[in-house]
Structure 1
Amino acid sequence: MALLFRFSQLRNSIWSSCPARLRMQHTVLSSGTQLDPKSYEKRLFSTRVQETASLHKTDLGPCISGIQPLKFKQTSEHEQSAPLLIFDIETTGFFQKKTTGNFQKDNRITEFAVRDLCGGKNSTFETLINPERGVPGYLKTVNDINTELVCKPDVPRFSDVLPLLLAFVRSRQTPGKPVIWVAHKVNTFDGPFLAQEFNRCSAQMPEDWLFVDSFCLARKLPKVEASEDKKHLLNLESLSKRYDISVKGSAHRAMHDVTTLCHVFQKMSVDLKLTYEGLINETTKASYFNNLVK
């Protein structure tokens, strides 16, 4: 009952901050299809929701876990109005482009986390996801996620999470403005995986979603002269050491890596003197990933 009450608070928080009906014109579902929050609760979450599927509230205002809201310099009269969503996923393995009609053979998402770097209340969302397939044993030592943790009835499938995720994003979005997603290696990992999960739900990621690969941005950083191995390391762990960033919790879990990337991305933005327009120029459109998994 406690978990059901927790999820009820989550659902009510999201639906109270966005339209009561989520229009699905962003997807390839039939035109006019709508998701009513009441029918959504009954149809998709008749079982308990995993406690980690939660919308974290805070009374700290815009400053969450020491992360300050990020505002970019403007090079034009246009104001920054797009949410900046830092996200990360955990999966059953590497991305494998679909070669057959059997999605069950593909790797799947097991955990999803996102934080709006613009700050404010209700700005984070995380959940375990039932991949509907086994999790390789070696991943237990990497991220502490195994088959027993996620492959059970009370862990939502991605199809269960999708309506809530779309509602969460719309609650953060300024009408008529894009949504900017940032992840480390999003072009080769997170983006294709996310598009693949949408595809399984007979949907496509919204056209106004734009993706920034922080790994590609890190390539533009000045070389670190005093590096032990004399190399310019670009993975998230190395970038954390470069900026002397330490985040509590288990590494390689989605929200931990999101929090780490929030700090790293802010530091990189300063070093690269990144403007809002410059950031937009670094984006990859959702259509690229949608076409990749067709």
Structure 2
Amino acid sequence: MLDLPLRTAPLVFFDFETTGLYPYRGDRVCEVALLRMRDGAEDLRYTTLIDPERPLSERSFQVNQISAEELNGAPRFAEVAGMLREQWAGPVLVAHNALFDSEFLRSELLRAGLPPFDMPVLDTLAIARRLYPRRSSHSLRALALTLGADPPSHRAMDDVLALRVVFGAMTEHLAEAGVTTLGGLLRYARGFIPGENAPDVAPLIHTALGEGRMLRVRYSSRALPEPTERVIRPIELFRQGNTLFLQAYCYFRHDLRAFVANKLEVLELTDDVPPTPDDWAET
């Protein structure tokens, strides 16, 4: 599949609206939308409100304007999760700021008792930052206004429709840079040039990335020069300048972090999720 041309590759554009910004503090998905493309044509469109089983934060309501009344009677995520997995089977997922949506997806699937998704994810935010380095903003709205899409409204399907148009325009510019296949774009989004060899990192990092598993590591940083042991869930390797980073969810910080790859001492694979601190528990 990685050799498929971008214009015909199977893709699922998706977006979530959420009750807040932090799934580890109990925030939930309250709307989902997806649009599936096969052979360059749309073959599925789906959207639904989701009962998040908790109130929206004031900040989230100001953004998406989804009211409690609208959510009354909506299905819970667990009720649609199996169907979503079937619709996503095979294609590559595409989202803007995909790390945000992917972490909510991981959290919701875990709550539903389902395994994590294992399909590749393309982040149009990361692609745009590399493709258009001189632009002052790489938000979906800014890209939509300059690439011919209707501006998104912060409702899930409107954002998905804008994302599809933005992605289509970006693929034309990517072709000029020599990126024409799905595999080439996955590497380009991570900062690697076409044809560059796979990064030389600890084998267990590749295993964790390929199997969606966690790692127990030891790491030191400028903030904590004394090495600390922590559990991380690797998401992707990417290069910034001459430095190779591992993007991962860190259960020590309970946040996404970028680790300098050659400073990581990998101890072991693990499937034990560390407990969430009491003061971050869901209320």
Length-normalised TM-score, structure 2: 0.60
Provide the secondary structure at the position in 1 that maps to 2:55: coil
* Structure that is richer in strand per residue: 2
- Distance in 2, Cα, partners of 1:203 & 1:92: 21
Offset at residue 85 of structure 1 (A): 0.7
Alignment of 1:269-280 (within 5 A): 269-273=171-175, 274-276=179-181, 277-280=183-186
Match of 1:243 among 140, 143, 147: 147
- Distance in 1, Cα, partners of 2:213 & 2:129: 22
Provide the secondary structure at the position in 2 that maps to 1:245: coil
Match of 1:116 among 33, 36, 47: 36
Q: Residue 104 of structure 2 corresponds to which residue in structure 1?
A: 193
Alignment of 1:170-189 (within 5 A): 170=89, 173=90, 179-187=91-99, 189=100
Provide the secondary structure at the position in 1 that maps to 2:58: coil
Length-normalised TM-score, structure 1: 0.58
- Distance in 1, Cα, partners of 2:52 & 2:97: 21
Corresponding letter in the other structure for 2:102: G
- Distance in 2, Cα, partners of 1:252 & 1:285: 32
The answer to whether the 8 A contact 1:86-1:116 is kept is: yes
Larger RCO: 1 or 2 (CA < 8 Å, sep 6+) = 1
Q: Residue 27 of structure 1 corresponds to which residue in structure 2?
A: none
CA 1:121–1:244 in 2, change beyond 3 Å: closer, same or farther?
A: closer
Offset at residue 280 of structure 1 (A): 3.4
Offset at residue 211 of structure 1 (A): 0.7
- Distance in 2, Cα, partners of 1:241 & 1:112: 23
CA 1:285–1:156 in 2, change beyond 3 Å: closer, same or farther?
A: farther
Q: Which runs of 5+ in 2 are unaligned?
A: 191-208, 215-231, 234-248, 252-272, 274-283
- Distance in 2, Cα, partners of 1:272 & 1:194: 28
CA 1:222–1:155 in 2, change beyond 3 Å: closer, same or farther?
A: closer
Provide the secondary structure at the position in 1 that maps to 2:150: coil
**1:167 counterpart = 2:69:** no
Q: Residue 136 of structure 2 corresponds to which residue in structure 1?
A: 232
Provide the secondary structure at the position in 1 that maps to 2:143: helix
Q: Residue 239 of structure 2 corresponds to which residue in structure 1?
A: none
Percent of aligned pairs with the same residue?
A: 30
User: How many correspondences in the alignment?
Assistant: 192
Provide the secondary structure at the position in 2 that maps to 1:251: coil
Cα RMSD, aligned residues only: 2.7
Q: Deviations over 1:101-160 (max 9, x none)?
A: xxxx5100000011113355641111111000011234333212022221x3x2100100
The answer to whether the 8 A contact 1:206-1:286 is kept is: no
Offset at residue 223 of structure 1 (A): 4.5
- Distance in 1, Cα, partners of 2:64 & 2:93: 23
The answer to whether the 8 A contact 1:211-1:286 is kept is: no
Q: Which runs of 5+ in 1 are unaligned?
A: 1-69, 74-79, 98-104, 174-178, 225-230
- Distance in 2, Cα, partners of 1:140 & 1:262: 25
Corresponding letter in the other structure for 1:160: E
Offset at residue 236 of structure 1 (A): 0.6
Q: Residue 212 of structure 2 corresponds to which residue in structure 1?
A: 287
